[in-house]
Amino acid sequence: MSEPVLSVENLSLRYRVPGGTVAALRSVSIAVRQGEVLGIAGESGCGKSTLAAAMIDLTGANAEITSGTVRLRGQDILSLSRDSRRRLRGREIAMVFQDPMTAFSPVLTVGEQLVDFQFNINDVPRREKWIRAQHMLARVGLTDPDLAMSRFPHELSGGMRQRAAIAAALLMRPAVLIADEPTTALDVTMEAQIVHLLRELQADYRCAIVIVTHHLGVIAELCDRVAVMYAGEVVEEAPVDVLYHDPRHPYTRALLACDPALIEEATGRLPAIGGRLPDLAHPPPGCAFAERCRLSTERCRIVPPPRVALGPDRSALCHEVAP
């Protein structure tokens, strides 16, 4: 089995807020290998986007990493200087953001920005960088890349902006591409096109891809493995087919049961998980899911759950799961 291109090991991060701190990530460990697509799933507020931002060192000024490492090709990027970490972005690791409108400056054309994004390429004339950008726009499916290069971001549709954002992320041929909710702002048809595009690009470039999404259909279509997050922790990790057919953690089961695609008869209510996420300003001493879990016992509320190995690339954070 190949070594991970990107690995997160026991990463804990908190946000400083008025009155204290919020434990957004709690001892998170995941890894993704070359040519692999890893999905990160979970409810809103569970830490998915914070984890994605931490992987590329784009957390906010009020964020503080209290423990753990983020390794890119074996090197702990958190130990590097700020300038060294900045130089890694684009060349080694790149990100596609949830809202493609915020990925571009509104006062420069798309072409100008795609050329500027290649600042790490030395001794290459600007004209060649322009041509590289045109070719990448064509590769991501824009039928008139010359016209797109001359447009401002607001002159492109949402789907075109997302394609341009993917092109920008791939211009430097990074080893790792992180996509944070890349289809959320798109309609169903465009969502399917972007998923298909990402699958094609992964096959062409063989980069590692991390997809952050709450959309279980995107995970099923695109990913090789999936990590399910809850309250800042990875509660289950498994190959995607295995997890969908045999979820072991109670939260994973509850999350999959909420998929609207499973509704067979007309109903006036959508399935939901009862209760609410715990307050991570004061994390519970035991299992974070205990108050919402039908299987929980008094031990679950008091004792932190163990991480149980369930097989190759498979584990669950639970007292009630047997190996």
The verdict on residue 75 lying in a domain is yes
Rounded distance between C-alpha atoms, residue 51 and residue 62, angstroms: 15
The enclosing domain of 305 has a CATH number of 3.40.50.300
Which three-class secondary structure state does DSSP give residue 204?
Answer: helix
Give the pLDDT band of residue 267 (cuts 50, 70, 90).
confident
List, in order, residues 6 or more apart from 236 with CB less than 8 Å away: 227, 228, 243, 247, 248, 249, 251, 252, 315, 316, 317
The verdict on residue 97 lying in a domain is no
Rounded distance between C-alpha atoms, residue 90 and residue 110, angstroms: 17
Give the CA angle between residues 115, 121, 126 to the nearest 5°.
40
Given this model, what pLDDT does residue 1 score?
Answer: 60
Q: What is the mean pLDDT of the chain?
A: 90
Mean pLDDT for 53-80 is: 93
The verdict on residue 309 lying in a domain is yes
Rounded distance between C-alpha atoms, residue 215 and residue 156, angstroms: 25
The verdict on residue 109 lying in a domain is no
Least confident of 30-44, 189-203, 243-257: 189-203
**Domains identified in the chain, total number:** 1
Question: 291: which 2 tokens?
Answer: 């108050």
The separation between CA 143 and the C-alpha centre of its own chain, rounded to angstroms, equals: 28
Q: Give the domain extent around 240.
A: 1-83+228-249+280-323
Given this model, what pLDDT does residue 86 score?
Answer: 87
The verdict on residue 175 lying in a domain is no
The verdict on residue 245 lying in a domain is yes
By residue count, the chain amounts to 323
Write the DSSP string, 233-289: EEEEEEEHHHHHHS--SHHHHHHHHT-GGG--S--SS----SS----TTS--SS-TT
The verdict on residue 115 lying in a domain is no
Rounded distance between C-alpha atoms, residue 207 and residue 92, angstroms: 10
pLDDT digit string, tens, across residues 28-53: 999 999 999 999 999 988 999 999 99
The verdict on residue 232 lying in a domain is yes
pTM: 0.91
Which three-class secondary structure state does DSSP give residue 125?
Answer: coil
